[in-house]
Amino acid sequence: MGIFSQKRIVITGGTGSLGKVLVRRILSFKEGKPKKIIIFSRDEAKQHYMRLEYQHMKNVTEEVIYNNFRQLVEFRIGDVRRYESICSVLKDADIIINAAALKQVPTCEYFPYEAVQTNIGGAENIIRVLRENNFPVKTVVGVSTDKACKPVNVMGMTKALQERVFISGNIFVPKTRFVCVRYGNVLASRGSVIPLFYQQIKNGGPLTITTEEMTRFLLPLEKAVDTIFAAIKDAKPGEIYIPQAASSLITNIAKILVGERKIKIKCTGIRPGEKVHEILISDEESWHTVERKGYYVIQAMLPELIGKKINKRILPGEFSSANAQMDLEETKKMLTKYKLLFEHQEEKIGEILA
């Protein structure tokens, strides 16, 4: 039996790029056939289009709106900020994957308290619901970001606190296992640099980068989902799972996408709250990091959750996009492998930029 066999799975913020791939992967049934997958979010338009896409994929021609609650994939409107909203959807859940977030750096800088309410308050609501109602949820996975490590912007700060809130949940709701995953930029996800470059190429340029030295981790969506699955399978309470991701210079990505076109690449300067290099594991965290089945795992630091102590430090220091770089050719191979060169995407440009 797989990890999802006969399980009721709730994906908060499930209409995003990650949620769509998560649903597709779960529906492959390679990890077992679930009893129900519930997409919980507050955007009715995104839910509607995801529902239509799912029904089309499954070749269902019957009414797809009013049969919502009869489907294996069910859509629920709600908001992680509201206790009662979360309460109604978690009642019979077995696994919760929390992907609900405000994640655009400029938005969070201008509206920091909005980010606090979603990214921190949402996590606390999930814990409070489970604690106060004794719901039989087995696992909660918090989806985090490299920006949570040594954060310099509001988005990263709120995600760093979200990690700590979820980890503390193991103390207050000991029947439920709370774990996190942390990774960098997901290739071609909404709001990432590649769709921005697509749009700029389509408009004739220029491609804008903040500085020539800037690097970022690059993670295919499939690998992001693999990390979540690995954490559900093997993580101990309070652990943070991190993929062994590669990184690239943003200038190399721009050069590869531009190709032979006569389009300029323009440096605009570092924006507020932006790092030159992202970090997935800090120097301090490296002392608590182990390697497990191809992933780095930051062990829980709370005394009540600490298991077997580490005898050997596996990382010499922080795990940064500055020291995990692919060269130009390696970056091109990755973009080609995942069909992310602009030429491969022109027929789907509207979908990618949506």
CB proximity list for 6: less than 8 A, separation 6 or greater:
32, 33, 34, 35
Please pick, among 7, 20, 147, 332, the residue that the annotation labels catalytic.
Answer: 147
The torsion angles phi and psi of 201, rounded to 5 degrees, stand at -65, -45
Could you tell me which of 11, 22, 40, 69 has the C-alpha nearest to residue 221? 22
CB 179 within 8 A of CB 231: yes
Active site residue 147: yes
Helix (H, G, I), strand (E, B) or coil at 136: coil
- 311 token code pair: 């005898």
> Among positive and negative, which fits the CA dihedral 158, 152, 230, 334?
positive
CA atoms of 291 and 226, how far apart (whole Å): 16
DSSP H or E segment with residue 342: helix 342-345
* Integer CA distances (angstroms), 12 to 80, 175, 261, 318, 341, in order: 8, 21, 41, 31, 31
Centroid of chain to Cα 347? 26
Maximum pairwise Cα distance, the chain: 62
Helix (H, G, I), strand (E, B) or coil at 321: coil
Rg (CA), the chain: 20
Q: What is the DSSP letter of 303?
A: T
- Residue owning tokens 């060169």: 341
CA atoms of 190 and 186, how far apart (whole Å): 9
- 8 token code pair: 């009721």
CB proximity list for 164: less than 8 A, separation 6 or greater:
none
Enumerate the H helices of 204-354 as residue ranges.
Answer: 221-234, 250-258, 283-286, 328-337, 342-345, 349-353
The residues annotated as belonging to the active site are 147
